[in-house]
Structure 1
Amino acid sequence: MTTLHLSPLLPQLGSPQAWPNQTASQQFVFPEPSVHIHPAFNEPIPSPPRRSTKRTKSKASSSRGPSYSTAEDKALCSAYLNVSRDPIVGAYQTAETYWERIAKYYNENNKFRVPRTPDSLATRWHNISKDTARFCGKKAEVDRRRESGKTEEDRIEDALQLFLGQVGKPFQFMHCWTVLRNTRKWEDWIATKGADSAGDREAPNAEEGQEFHAGAGELCRPIGRDKAKKTRHSEGKQSSESSACIELFQQMAKNKELKNQQEAMWASEYKQVQERQLALKEESTRRQLALQEEQTRIQREQLEYQRLEHDSKIMMMDLSSFSDVAREYFLGMQREILEKRRRGGDNNNAN
């Protein structure tokens, strides 16, 4: 039989009257050392196992994936900008659901060697958004200085130096800033939270299915379900009206095009008629000129015939019965006629 020595412990355990029906081994947890060895037996007596009072959270062990490349960072920023929350599903959605949608968009639209999990993307986005928001604050601070003579590149360089001096490390996400800058979703979140405070804000926890509010991945509190349905119905109605307007404009454009084609056809036909009329007018003018030339030729021939007839009469006159003066006159005319004939013959021979 094993004998337990409790006398050293009794000052700590109190009076035995406080535990009348129980043994000492059932009432107390023995302090260290946890076992006692009886001199008669060389066997240890184990103490009851202790239970931790803290509740531990079991997590599946996961190996760390490869580092993100510049292209993967840009793809993550693009997924963040393109994936929005669906208010029809509910006024809130868990971070797990949200990042599952981002991961789906990321992996479906980018064919990288290693697909990324929602938790990996959420962690990476936390780092990107935090430092990028800080840099936006430094850039805004530099812009507010309004230093004359400095270009946009100079202000960016000043913001990088300011980030390095105040944060204590270089800004490593310039490639992400170039994707996020001047986008509505990112600018609205920066304006809502403030660049510096947004950079210092912790990313939402994606564990335990907690509701995902507007942290580093959202703009603001979403609208309610009913309002979202009404908005979508209104958008559908507006879309129908817009479609009707578009069809009307298309029909008007088609009618205008047909009218332009018809006017072009009429203009072409009118031009052809004008050209035909001009050709007819020119032909008529040529005919009139030819007729006038013919009439002129006939008149010249008639005059020539009359002249020849006149000359022939003078040459055939009998001058014996004429007076000396008359005879001399007609002899002169005959000589002139002969001279003209000679000159005419010489000209014809020369030609």
Structure 2
Amino acid sequence: MASSVEVGGSWSTQEDIALYQSWVNVSHDPITGSEMKFHHMWSKIHGEFCQRLGSIRTEMALSSRWKLLNKELGKWRNALTKARENIRSGQNFTDEIIQAQMWFGAMGQGKKSFVHFQCWEVVKDCSRFKIIPTGPPVVLNETPLHDSTSTDSPLDSPMEMEPPLPRPSRPIRRKAAKAKRGGTSNNECVQLLEQIAKNTSLRIERDLKRDEMDVAREEAFVIQKQKAQEKDMDDREMKIMAMDTSHMSPETKVYWKLRRRDVMRRKIFGRRT
């Protein structure tokens, strides 16, 4: 069977959004969503996807793309969870997104930054992607009262279902140690963000000082240019006043007499101002 790249080329953002809209509509149908078999489910998703875009993507291409994006969205959900647990008083949504991007990049095995925000808006309210605060689980008789990992059966995999593996119970001390390590990572993240803010402030201050120096240099250049023009004017006026007209014709003498009169007027008005 041809791959998704061979059939339809690179995936666009519009196709990714349409894929997840189709997935949500079909798999979360309150009447038939939980009872469909995988083959039938992806057949319906493929039909709705093609109806939305008129695409030639195959059913296999859709399920493969869904599996790839599903990992990225799952990582983003986990990164947002960590960021929300680490958010401090006075910080806003932008701070939360910055922290989440840092957690997302630190998780490895994929892209360094999350970019599928429009797909996230489509699926963020699905139980599979809901953000559930994590932390040391509450244990009663070695049985967790809640589990932060939630799945939407039959949505765990686009092609097949695997039975969940048994989860062995852990001693309380190991869970406490893990929580402590998580707290240390949170502190390191906070310190890194504070360092970024400090570096940004220093860079802004440095840029302002550089702008002030540029303005000062420009003002000094203007003053120097003005002084040079005034000196040049004084030199020309001195030559006019010192011009020897004894050997000139009457018409030329009249010309230089008028020039001298203009110089005297500028000197007089200049002193008055």
Q: Which TM-score applies when normalising by structure 2?
A: 0.44
Larger radius of gyration: 1
Instruction: Give me the TM-score of the superposition, normalised by structure 1.
Output: 0.35
